Amino acid sequence: MARAVASGSPIMVLDEPATGLDLHNQGQLLVLIQSLAAEGMSVLLTTHHPDNALLVSDSVVLMRGRYDVRCGTAEELLTDEELSGLYGVHVRTVSYGDEPGDTRRALVTRYEAFAEQLSRVRAVDPSARPRH
């Protein structure tokens, strides 16, 4: 990122830039990305973290399959229904903010689709597990 900024490039392409970062450093990275965009740089990024896109994106591309690619605003495409269908888990967006009209949103993911599988895993006697 430093090299792209130092070179004066008008466009930055980032592939999963938040991968491996803890929540604090993800936030720092997203602030940097938003700052660069506010200064006029075009930023294209891929992410498996829709929360990141909700925070910094004006427009998004949602890729559900080879022939199912949608383009639009984050508001239009990063909805409960679209994200739940994309990831196969129940996703709910929640609004938050202290000011009236604040439109900030975050995601809550519920993994009840995996509850049965998790209960089977928990029911296995640890002493019966094979040792590697």
Closest CA to 2 of 34, 25, 36, 30: 36
Give yes or no for a contact between 78 and 50, defined as CB atoms under 8 angstroms apart: yes
Single-letter code of the amino acid located at 54:
L
What is the per-residue pLDDT for 94? 81
**Catalytic residue list:** 16
Residue with tokens 């990831």: 87
Is pLDDT at 87 greater than 90 in this prediction? no
What is the per-residue pLDDT for 61? 94
The pTM is what? 0.71
